[in-house]
């Protein structure tokens, strides 16, 4: 909520708990406290299990390659920062990299002293659409490592910050399909990873890359190839493949050149009725560099001939930058019900489509192999009308998705949905803007604006400042085309708010002026609230509390009963902070209590977590430790559920102060260190210093 902006601007408003409120007695009976904060957490001190942080794709069944796996793991012990997995297309480089990464994630490396077991985080990046660059890789690292403040930094500062994180927390970076990456900065970043803790794995068709430990991936051995055929035959229920003579299976292995993807494609063709002998002959006649072209051409021109649902699903997937849900495929391909299920099943049988996890799970995801994607895009480019139709449908689908699940404050499930799809939603938001620029149509500009309005709550709440600035800038352009002055003012104010958070007061003031000037003199109070709120936040950050209070009081009169950053609860929180700044703690308490009642009425876990953390600070300042502890513990439980990092840190720091006051110095030291690490994730120097001071005090007193 907007409360977080004011409380963390370099400690301007609250340098620490107890500012100006040391003499207020705000005692509460236990019954009243329980009524305010709700039921106590079941476990006040849960023991957290340390796990490797990662964004790995789902693990898949893996056959053979034991020597290649062992060589890759030995590469982590070498002097090279990069393990380069090299080989031809379809030979299994991605599968090997994924298996190595999962072995590191699970610690199952069959070697207790290997450095693979030491990784605390694994960052997976793949160049699906040819747009992977160093900025995207660094953002992925920041997200996986849990340091959202890094997202807001300029590129060079971002690079240095990720290096520092990778020095403290040994991290494995995996970049799939390196040969398609145009940004050389990625290679330079990987080569200079801090040693010895962090390492990188890349997959590439190139050979003997400099500064790398090479793992050459060749054909499967005969035994491995036959084992893969057996597994594919079992998976597909291909009795003709399982029951074929040893000589036929060996002939298929030889014709496929031991290439696992070619073997899988061949098994799929046998599943759909092509005799094994005919598949073998096709593979023999294909040239090495045309092996997959020959296989795909048979799939497309013979096996999928006349199967329009399969073709449309395949072409739809080729336009998606990541694994897609069944709903997305239904919307893009315009294929429904049994036809969609049949089409997906047939494409999986042909090994043209991979399924993440269980195909029959509630929400499986489907994706293409990079080679299949290239072939499908080739076919799609020959029918531009179909391509345009599918793309339009996908844009509309993800716009509806973003709008439906934009309320991440009240519904944790919405947050998880947005987290899973945010990259794809942002991709189609960008595409809608490109189409609007090209066509100039009112419909397209409206979509650009709706994407920005839908995504802003999620982007702001998760600290994705660069993405927020980008979508707001596009929204302003769209609103100008639509002559929507309220939207122009709203998004200028949103951009100013981001810059205020970043400490750039000059830009924040510039965007405030732009927001105010966009509105005509007869503007409704509801629309005036956006620039007025930004003006109040700037005033608060500069210590002009009386001005801020007057502005926020006006805003409160028109604030809707919503859980977003412009609702009544958020406004009450900001008024509470301003009251603290004015040395009026009793007023602050009343504002926070009213905000908490609204949070509970609206069932917003995130808002409740933040409000409780501030109530805890007020109670702590009066030395009402029992009340403060309940506020902080309940707030910490809720904040962890939604990963509201600022509230987590505030609760940890508050609990550390309580433990010091009550003489529990070891516990205080532990909580202080946790708070330091939490605030480190946000890059808040003043709060980090506060946490360190608590640790020093606890160590000195113990």
Residue 449 — φ and ψ, nearest 5°? -65, -40
Minimal CA–CA distance to 307: which of 281, 363, 276, 345?
A: 345
Residue 214 — φ and ψ, nearest 5°? -85, 135
CA distances from 663 to 75, 632, 669, 697 (A): 49, 18, 11, 11
Work out the average pLDDT over 444-455: 96
Question: Based on the domain organization, do 97 and 129 belong to the same domain?
Answer: yes
Q: Which tops the pLDDT comparison, 464 or 595?
A: 595
Query: For residue 648, is pLDDT > 80?
Result: yes
- Structure confidence at residue 108 (pLDDT): 66
- The beta-strand segments (E) located in 499-635 are none
Least confident window among 128-142, 197-211, 374-388, 584-598: 197-211
371 close to 261: Cβ distance less than 8 angstroms: yes
Q: Which tops the pLDDT comparison, 175 or 523?
A: 175
551 close to 536: Cβ distance less than 8 angstroms: yes
Last residue of a domain, one of 303, 326, 345: 303
Query: For residue 664, is pLDDT > 70?
Result: yes
Domain count for the chain = 2
Minimal CA–CA distance to 685: which of 8, 139, 158, 13?
A: 8
Q: What is the pLDDT of residues 262-307, one digit of tens each?
A: 888 888 888 877 887 887 887 777 765 566 777 777 788 888 888 8
Least confident window among 350-364, 445-459, 471-485: 350-364
Look at residue 1 and tell me if it is in a domain.
no
Residue 368 — φ and ψ, nearest 5°? -105, 145
Residues in the chain: 702
Question: Based on the domain organization, do 83 and 192 belong to the same domain?
Answer: yes
Question: Based on the domain organization, do 232 and 255 belong to the same domain?
Answer: yes
Look at residue 311 and tell me if it is in a domain.
no
Distance CA 4, CA 540 (A): 12
- Structure confidence at residue 244 (pLDDT): 62
- Structure confidence at residue 21 (pLDDT): 28
Least confident window among 369-378, 594-603, 644-653: 369-378
- Structure confidence at residue 234 (pLDDT): 78
27 close to 96: Cβ distance less than 8 angstroms: no
- Structure confidence at residue 109 (pLDDT): 57
Last residue of a domain, one of 303, 330, 350: 303
Look at residue 403 and tell me if it is in a domain.
no
Query: For residue 651, is pLDDT > 90?
Result: yes
- Structure confidence at residue 516 (pLDDT): 95
Minimal CA–CA distance to 2: which of 680, 555, 504?
A: 555
Look at residue 471 and tell me if it is in a domain.
no
Residue 131 — φ and ψ, nearest 5°? -115, 10
- Structure confidence at residue 290 (pLDDT): 67
Look at residue 381 and tell me if it is in a domain.
no
Range of the domain at 209: 65-216
Per-residue exposure over 440-476, b if at least 16 CB sit within 10 Å of its own CB, e if not: eeeebbbbbbbbbbbbbbbbbbbbbbbbbbbbbebbb
Query: For residue 111, is pLDDT > 60?
Result: no
- Structure confidence at residue 359 (pLDDT): 52
Query: For residue 247, is pLDDT > 80?
Result: no
Work out the average pLDDT over 157-170: 91
Question: Based on the domain organization, do 127 and 269 belong to the same domain?
Answer: no
Structure tokens at 276: 């094994």
Question: Based on the domain organization, do 201 and 282 belong to the same domain?
Answer: no
pLDDT confidence band for 62 (50 / 70 / 90): confident
Question: Based on the domain organization, do 106 and 211 belong to the same domain?
Answer: yes
Question: Based on the domain organization, do 161 and 246 belong to the same domain?
Answer: no
- Structure confidence at residue 257 (pLDDT): 81
618 close to 26: Cβ distance less than 8 angstroms: yes
Q: Which tops the pLDDT comparison, 28 or 440?
A: 440
Distance CA 552, CA 388 (A): 47
All residues at 6 or more sequence positions from 530 whose CB lies less than 8 Å from its CB, including other chains: 489, 490, 493, 494, 515, 566
Query: For residue 689, is pLDDT > 60?
Result: yes
Minimal CA–CA distance to 75: which of 167, 199, 166?
A: 199
Question: Based on the domain organization, do 296 and 177 belong to the same domain?
Answer: no
Query: For residue 11, is pLDDT > 90?
Result: no
Work out the average pLDDT over 147-175: 90
181 close to 132: Cβ distance less than 8 angstroms: yes
Contacts 24+ apart (CB under 8 A), 666-674: 666/698, 666/702, 668/694, 668/697, 668/698, 669/694, 669/695, 669/698, 669/699, 669/702, 672/698
Q: Which tops the pLDDT comparison, 606 or 31?
A: 606
The CATH number of the domain holding residue 96 is 3.40.50.300
Question: Based on the domain organization, do 260 and 186 belong to the same domain?
Answer: no
Work out the average pLDDT over 63-67: 85
Work out the average pLDDT over 213-228: 87
Look at residue 161 and tell me if it is in a domain.
yes
- Structure confidence at residue 666 (pLDDT): 94
Query: For residue 43, is pLDDT > 50?
Result: no
pLDDT confidence band for 348 (50 / 70 / 90): confident
- Structure confidence at residue 16 (pLDDT): 31
- Structure confidence at residue 299 (pLDDT): 82
Question: Based on the domain organization, do 196 and 269 belong to the same domain?
Answer: no
Look at residue 174 and tell me if it is in a domain.
yes
- Structure confidence at residue 280 (pLDDT): 81
pLDDT confidence band for 181 (50 / 70 / 90): confident
Mean per-residue pLDDT of the chain? 84
Least confident window among 345-354, 451-460, 496-505: 345-354
Look at residue 192 and tell me if it is in a domain.
yes
Question: Based on the domain organization, do 211 and 226 belong to the same domain?
Answer: no
Question: Based on the domain organization, do 174 and 276 belong to the same domain?
Answer: no
Last residue of a domain, one of 176, 195, 216: 216
- Structure confidence at residue 49 (pLDDT): 41
Minimal CA–CA distance to 617: which of 640, 646, 644, 597?
A: 646
Strand-strand pairing, 199-204 and 171-176: parallel
Number of helices and strands in the chain (H, E): 32, 9
- Structure confidence at residue 378 (pLDDT): 85
Alpha helices in 14-148 (DSSP H): 30-37, 66-75, 93-106, 134-145
Across 63-72, 140-149, 252-261, 527-536, the highest mean pLDDT is recorded for 527-536
Least confident window among 176-180, 362-366, 668-672: 362-366
Across 32-36, 91-95, 268-272, 657-661, the highest mean pLDDT is recorded for 657-661
């Amino acid at each position: 909520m907007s409360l977080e902006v004011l409380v963390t601007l370099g400690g301007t408003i609250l340098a620490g708990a107890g500012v100006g409120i040391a003499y207020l007695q705000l005692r509460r009976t236990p019954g009243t406290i329980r009524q305010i904060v709700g039921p106590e957490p079941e476990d006040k001190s849960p023991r957290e299990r340390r796990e490797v942080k990662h964004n790995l794709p789902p693990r898949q069944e893996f056959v053979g390659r034991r020597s290649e796996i062992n060589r890759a793991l030995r590469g982590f012990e070498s002097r090279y920062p990069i393990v380069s997995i090299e080989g031809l297309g379809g030979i299994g480089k991605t599968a090997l990299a994924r298996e190595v990464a999962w072995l590191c994630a699970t610690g199952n490396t069959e070697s207790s002293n290997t450095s693979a077991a030491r990784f605390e985080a694994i960052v997976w990046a793949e160049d699906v659409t040819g747009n992977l660059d160093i900025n995207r890789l660094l953002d992925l690292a920041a997200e996986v490592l849990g340091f959202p403040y890094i997202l807001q930094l300029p590129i060079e500062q971002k690079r240095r910050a990720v290096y520092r994180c990778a020095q403290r927390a040994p991290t494995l970076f995996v970049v799939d399909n390196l040969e398609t990456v145009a940004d050389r900065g990625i290679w330079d970043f990987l080569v200079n990873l801090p040693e010895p803790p962090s390492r990188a794995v890349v997959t590439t068709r190139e050979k003997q890359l400099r500064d790398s430990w090479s793992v050459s991936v060749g054909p499967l051995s005969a035994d491995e190839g036959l084992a893969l055929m057996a597994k594919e035959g079992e998976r597909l229920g291909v009795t003709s493949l399982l029951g074929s003579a040893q000589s036929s299976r060996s002939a298929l292995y030889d014709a496929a050149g031991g290439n696992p993807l070619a073997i899988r494609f061949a098994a799929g063709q046998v599943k759909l009725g092509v005799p094994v002998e005919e598949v073998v002959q096709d593979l023999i006649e294909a040239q090495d560099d045309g092996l997959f072209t020959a296989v795909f051409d048979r799939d497309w021109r013979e096996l999928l001939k006349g199967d329009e649902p399969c073709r449309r699903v395949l072409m739809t997937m080729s336009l998606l930058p990541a694994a897609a849900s069944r709903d997305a495929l239904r919307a893009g391909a315009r294929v429904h019900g049994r036809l969609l299920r049949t089409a997906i099943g047939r494409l999986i049988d042909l090994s043209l489509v991979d399924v993440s996890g269980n195909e029959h799970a509630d929400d499986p995801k489907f994706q293409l192999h990079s080679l299949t994607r290239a072939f499908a895009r080739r076919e799609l480019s020959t029918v531009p009308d179909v391509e345009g139709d599918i793309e339009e449908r996908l844009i509309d689908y993800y716009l509806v998705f973003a709008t439906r699940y934009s309320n991440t404050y009240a519904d944790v499930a919405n947050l998880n949905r947005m987290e899973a799809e945010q990259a794809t939603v942002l991709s189609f938001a960008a595409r809608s803007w490109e189409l609007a620029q090209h066509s100039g149509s009112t419909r397209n500009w409206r979509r650009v604006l709706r994407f920005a309005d839908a995504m802003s709550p999620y982007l702001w709440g998760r600290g994705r400042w660069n993405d927020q600035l980008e979508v707001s800038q596009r929204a302003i352009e769209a609103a100008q085309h639509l002559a929507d002055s309220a939207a122009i003012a709203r998004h200028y104010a949103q951009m100013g708010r981001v810059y205020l958070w970043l400490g750039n007061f000059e830009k924040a003031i510039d965007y405030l002026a732009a927001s105010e000037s966009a509105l005509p003199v007869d503007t409704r109070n509801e629309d005036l609230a956006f620039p007025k709120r930004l003006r109040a936040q700037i005033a608060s950050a500069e210590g002009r509390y009386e001005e801020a209070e007057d502005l926020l009081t006006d805003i409160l009169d028109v604030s809707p009963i919503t859980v977003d950053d412009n609702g009544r609860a958020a406004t009450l929180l900001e008024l509470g902070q301003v009251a603290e700044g004015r040395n009026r703690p009793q007023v602050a308490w009343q504002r926070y209590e009213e905000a908490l009642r609204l949070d509970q009425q609206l069932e917003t876990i995130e808002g409740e977590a933040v409000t409780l953390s501030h109530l805890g600070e007020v109670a702590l300042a009066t030395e009402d430790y029992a009340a403060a502890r309940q506020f902080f513990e309940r707030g910490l439980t809720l904040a962890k559920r939604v990963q509201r990092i600022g509230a987590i840190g505030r609760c940890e720091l508050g609990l550390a102060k309580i433990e010091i006051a009550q003489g529990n110095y070891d516990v205080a030291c532990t909580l202080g260190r946790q708070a330091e690490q939490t605030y480190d994730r946000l890059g808040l120097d003043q709060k980090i210093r506060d946490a360190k001071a608590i640790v020093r005090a606890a160590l000195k007193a113990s």
